[in-house]
Structure formats: structure tokens, C-alpha cells
Amino acid sequence: MSTKTSAKAVRELLPSPAPIRFVDESGTAVKAPAGYAIPPDELLREAYRWMVVGRRFDTQATALTKQGRLAVYPSSRGQEACQVGGVLALRERDWLFPTYRDSVALVARGLDPVEVLTLLRGDWHCGYDPAATRVAPQCTPLATQVLHATGMAEALRRKGEDGVAMAFVGDGGTSEGDFHEALNFAAVLKAPVVFFVQNNKYAISVPLAKQSAAPALAYKGVGYGVPAEQVDGNDLVAVLSVLGAAVEHARSGRGPFLVEAHTYRMDAHTNADDAGRYRDDDEVRRWAGADPVRRLETYLRGRGLLTDDDVESARTQGETFAAGLRARMNADTEPDLLEIFDHVYAEPTPQLLEQREQLRAELNAQES
């Protein structure tokens, strides 16, 4: 390969110098970036509805932790454009590999909200059927789901299926070895996978500047031969456009793609975290001015795609959704303690069966 050809190949891998954006913080359209198209109007309207419903779901889930109905809840308030944009860029036959913070994405994907929260309630490892929904269990260990997504994408390719896998990962996850291994495998195999980094500026309490010296996390793709892009993660229009292009890149057989979305986690890491210990109120207020829901609403109103009735309808839908969730989550569950032995092995070992019977005997003795 000549030096000129090599330089061109490198340039094609690099992300844009600044995050792709269609709409500024005030909700005003800016000059459309070259190479990207505005998503269809109806898709934008659907995204708005899910962002409103998703935010109401998120605040309700946070409230449920205070009522003792959830053990923990990692909020994604402020990241709705990423949560909703990510799943709307996929088709039903595609696979999603989420993290513990991506409950809103799962709800927008159409999953039962109670099943989504089963893990965080502590009732079961995963409340929904991954094979039926094509959504992997929410992953708590950082970045392990990224390798799983690469493996699934390669399986889809080998089976000749027209499917794509998308792995959600946080900025902290990009510091894990699994993330780098996944990019390398995906690039070598040309697996149809999209790596979607939601850079919300903190890995729990560790700011981005103490995680990476790269000009943007998207630049981590070039070392593995993975093309990348960076996008304003609070601009739903841009997120949908960039992810749509990334998914099409993967689906067309050109291999993996890395997208970094610049966004912000408005709430604490979880309900057990005190974010005031590592960030100040002024920073939070600045990011509140870039609120993704308000930004999209203003933009759609300006284009005549959203009316007062539409806004009220979305809010009503959100309240109804939250009320239904609240009622169902307030119902006590009756766990079967013997279930802890299920799905440990495909075929239970003699030791496991012995332990099950010991527990069964103890439970029977307590009841007698």
C-alpha cells in the first residue's frame, strides 16, 4: 500500500473534528453536516414521544428506590436522546446489548417495564426473554457486553442473517480491556456491530480527563481499524442520523462502527451516590441548558411537526405509563427460593441437586 493510499485509509477511519450536530441547545436548526441526512419526520415525532415517556419512567423508577420497591436504580435522565435514538436506529431483527443504565432504551424497545426492572428489584437476573426480544441481559460488569455483542454479530454474519448488534457502553467502559478486545475482534472479523459510547463525562466519580487523554473517545477506533464518528448526544436528530448511518455501514457488510455521543448524566450515578462530592451545581445547570427533550420539542415545534395537543398527549402517555408501573411495582412478589439453583448449569450437578434438597428440607422444617 502506498503512503498516499495509507493516509486516505486512515482519514476514512477518523471521526469529525467536532461532534455532529443538527440542532443547537436552543432548539434552532444549524447547517446540516455533510454526509448526514435529517431523519424522517414521523421517526422524529416517535422519538419525541418515547423521550417524554422515558423520562417519566426514569423519574418514577428513581422514586421507587426511595419507597423500597427497587434495590437500586441508575438514572439516565439527560441521556434520553441516546437511549431512544439508539433503539430507534435498529430494526426488530437486530440485537441490543445494554448496560445497567439503559432501562429507558429497553422501554423504548417495547419491553415490559416491570420485566426491565426485575434485575434492579433483585427478583431475578433478567426479567425478560433475551432470545424473544433480541435484547441481552442488562450488564453490570463494565464492558463485558461489548464482547458479547461482537460475538453475536459474528454469529449473525456466519448464519447469513441480515442483522446488526449494537452495544451500549459508557465512557468508563472504554477504559476496560474488554472494550479494546471487542474492537479488535470486530475489525478483524468485519462483524456487523455498532459500538455506541454514551460519554456522560463521569465513570461514577472519575471525570473523563482522568480516564483518557484522547481528544475524543471516538479516536480509539482508528488503532483497531474501526471507523468512528462523534455526535452531540443531546441532539436527537444528530444521534438518529449518525447511528442510522453506522447501522447501515455494519449491515452492508463493511464491518464495525464506533459512535461516541457527548451527553451528560444529570442525576447521581445511582440512588446510593452523592454526586455533590465530585461535581458542582454550576456544571449541572450548564448541562441542563442543553436538555435533549426540550431541545427536540422546540425544534419540532419550529418545523410545524409538533402541536400543543401532541405535547400534552405525550405527557399524558408518560403519566399513564408511570401510574401503571407504580401500581404493578407496589404489588409484593412471592419468590421461590429454590429458583436460585435454576439455570446455574444446563444439567444440574449432583452437588447442586444435593444443595437444593438441603434448602428444601430447611424450608419445609420452618413451615411445619
Cβ atoms < 10 Å from Cβ of 181: 15
* C-alpha to C-alpha distances, 170 to 102, 281, 340, 353, nearest whole angstrom: 10, 22, 30, 39
Which residue in the list 49, 109, 265, 295 is annotated as catalytic?
265
Q: Is 279 a catalytic residue?
A: no
CA atoms of 275 and 136, how far apart (whole Å): 29
Beta carbons of 167 and 124 less than 8 angstroms apart: no
Which residue in the list 278, 279, 315, 356 is annotated as catalytic?
278
Per-residue DSSP letters for 270-287? STT--GGGTS-HHHHHHH
Which residue in the list 224, 269, 295, 299 is annotated as catalytic?
269
* C-alpha to C-alpha distances, 324 to 317, 318, 321, 329, nearest whole angstrom: 11, 10, 5, 9
The DSSP symbol for 222 reads G
Beta carbons of 154 and 217 less than 8 angstroms apart: no
Describe the strand order of the beta sheet including 228-232 as a list of residue ranges. Answer: 95-97, 165-170, 193-199, 257-262, 228-232
Nearest to 81 by CA among 28, 36, 44: 44
C-alpha cell at 329: 411495582
- Residue 337, classified by CB atoms within 10 Å of its CB into exposed (0-12), middle (13-18) or buried (19+), is exposed
CA atoms of 89 and 43, how far apart (whole Å): 10
Nearest to 70 by CA among 276, 317, 270: 270
Q: Is 93 a catalytic residue?
A: no
Q: Is 100 a catalytic residue?
A: no
CA atoms of 23 and 38, how far apart (whole Å): 11
CA atoms of 159 and 192, how far apart (whole Å): 12
Q: Are strands 206-207 and 165-170 parallel, antiparallel or unpaired?
A: unpaired
Catalytic residues: 265, 269, 278
